[in-house]
Amino acid sequence: MSETEKKSLPSNAYRSLEPGEVYRPVVGAEAKEPELTLRSVGWGVVFCVIFTVAAAYSGLKVGQVMESAIPISILAIGLARLYKRRSSLLENVIITGIGGVAGGVVAGAVFTVPALYILKLNPHPVQTIFICLAGGCLGVMFLIPLRRYFVREQHGLLPYPEATAITEVLVTGEKGGSQARLLLQATAIAGVYDFLVTTFQVWKEYVDFRFVPVIRMLNERARMALSFDAVGFILGLGYVIGLRSSMILCAGGLLSNLVLVPLIWFVGSHLDSAVYPAAIPIAKMTAVQIYRNYVRFVGVGAIATAGIFGIVKSLRVVAGSFGIALRVFRKGEAAAAERTDRDISMTAILAGVVIGAIGVALLLGNLRVSFAVLAAGLLLTLVFSFFFTSVAANAIATTARNPVSGMTMLTIILSAAVLLRFGLSGTTGMFFVMAIAGMVCTALSVSGQAITDLKTGYWLGSTPAAQEKVKFLGVIAAAIFAGLTIVMLARTFQFGEAAAGDLRPVLASPQASIMKALVEGFMSHQPIAYLLFGTGAVIAVILEMLGQPSLIFALGMYLPLELNTPALVGGFLSHLLNKRADKAGGETGDRVRARGVIIASGLMAGGALGGVLGAALRLVPGYREELIRTPFYAKEEISQIVSAVLFVGLCLYVWFGSLRKEKEI
């Protein structure tokens, strides 16, 4: 067998296994390839630090956290060729895994920690770093018992879009030939396309067709609004997700935007006063404002309830994992597993959770609260971190979208509701709640990234224990540099809005500003919109009764509709091409399926690279979107039609690129 053949993904990599069938990874369990080496760990940490600093700045400035895992996987392939001994496939997985932690830790940090500065609570640098560190470590530790369930038992049942893209990048980079050329071609096309449309004023990124009289009338009179984010990244994402999942995702968005938003408008359009939790009357709201002030909370309730169902479904595996831990305590040794199914020992995980809990207690106890408040805060942190770890893993595995903001909002709301009953309020209560939210937010964000990395390792044949160990190294590096970057920026900039008399420039910090307003409101004894959360919970229950995946639908309800609609187009493309492949059968059918996945992965990789480059460019002094501006950009009808036509061109590229014959695949 040639080296090229050895580096090909098995035919059952992306489908469910038949009874008695076993998945054999690219690198077999018996193989002894370099994995944890100075090269892989060193470069992983270097990339983690670089992307952490860049992502923290961009997240605070433009509200966009740079994607790190996919670009780092491409960088790892390039680095492999610089050494006399080319880096092994497993070394590249380690580099990507460590570096990818940057995005997870930064997302958790910039969503919450800057809110403390906006509230003038000014946390100590050690507190800032520890919030990121504790949350990241808890996210990894709580995910490990769930690995077998999400990675092995759900093989072929969960699409793992981002993990698929990373895997295809690493495999095709190793293999070379027409597959590598096809991947690079798709990456370049999507990279240029997404970079131009999201960075400059060349054509409209979002298509809503409001220049059409009928659509404009529906929006004005009924607040019914359709929108479409015409970028290559989401098209590739939808292709990998597949038709069924993308349809369920889009169905949730349609319920939110074409049913709930118009319904709320119909009921409240004649009211002159504001209806809580909004601050302005419904009659004065746009469709987007109704969604943000009301419907989004329904989506949060649905996500939380769907997450509970997900935890119940995985309890058997979790119980089995803890059963192994109990046997370890009794016998002093664990049963040996093959290399590709070996996790960090449950004894170490339990010890880590205990140490983490002590650290969280010390952080919260430093705020000089009562023992009852301290115990409640510790319990809330651990319970929410474990609970949302499962939610994040499931969300990332199905849609590559982590509901970080929604789960953080829910953490703030529930924590505030509980702690208010213990008499905690004011500035101490705000700091206490935001510290909990920061740790939980980082935990769920990091766990979502970690499950992507572990699935990639499963497909390729990495050692899970090795991946899990270096995750902690990545968390430490990212927590330190994310914390220090936020502290440095807080001394140079204002977060949120400009304060009177403060001449420092402003970093918008959009997510943290939302969290600040939320915690400030609840710690000031404002009511909680239980009805909205409860409505979402009932919707999730109904979906489970119908036997449908409630989490995907709930994510669709929560995510903006413009992210769901292009994913549906990608799902349809995948369905139609797979039907052509099934009809052709044999090697021809396999070739069509393989080329489709490679092109979709290239669109995701290129879109991520274009987004990173665009976000980085926004940090350069003198940057303006109008540096590149087409004459027709301001004309909505022309600009949106151009955007739609070019998006159709991307679809045609996927279609004909998948059907094209190649000598080597």
List the domain boundaries for the chain: 31-659
Work out the number of other CB atoms within 10 angstroms of the CB of residue 631. Answer: 7
Work out the number of other CB atoms within 10 angstroms of the CB of residue 319. Answer: 11
Work out the number of other CB atoms within 10 angstroms of the CB of residue 265. Answer: 20
Cβ-contact 434, 519 below 8 angstroms:
yes
Bond into 19 cis (ω within 30): no
- Coil vs helix vs strand at 63: coil
Q: What is the pTM of this model?
A: 0.75
Quote the CA–CA distance of 117 and 410 in Å, as a whole number: 21
Beta bridge partners of 190: none
> How far is Cα of residue 280 from the mean position of the Cα atoms in its chain?
32
Q: Please, which pLDDT band fits residue 333 given cuts at 50, 70 and 90?
A: very low
242's torsion region: left (phi>0), alpha (psi -120 to 50) or beta?
A: left
Work out the number of other CB atoms within 10 angstroms of the CB of residue 132. Answer: 31
Cβ-contact 300, 536 below 8 angstroms:
yes
Tokens of 137: 């470590």
- How many alpha carbons fall within 13 Å on the CB side of residue 108? 41
pLDDT of residue 511: 67
pLDDT of residue 281: 92
pLDDT, greater one: 597 or 616: 597
**Tens-place pLDDT, residues 283-303:** 889 998 898 889 988 987 887
- Rounded to 5 degrees, φ, ψ at 182 are -65, -45
Cβ-contact 542, 251 below 8 angstroms:
no
**Tens-place pLDDT, residues 67-102:** 678 778 877 887 777 788 888 889 989 999 998 888
Helices assigned H by DSSP within 523-623: 530-545, 550-558, 561-584, 586-617
Of 144-153, 321-330, 551-560, the one with minimum mean pLDDT is 321-330
pLDDT of residue 456: 92
Q: Which of 232, 207, 190 shows the shortest CA–CA distance to 641?
A: 207
Tokens of 113: 């920690």
Residue 18 DSSP label: P
> How far is Cα of residue 21 from the mean position of the Cα atoms in its chain?
31
Average pLDDT over residues 541-556: 87
Work out the number of other CB atoms within 10 angstroms of the CB of residue 142. Answer: 27
Quote the CA–CA distance of 474 and 303 in Å, as a whole number: 28
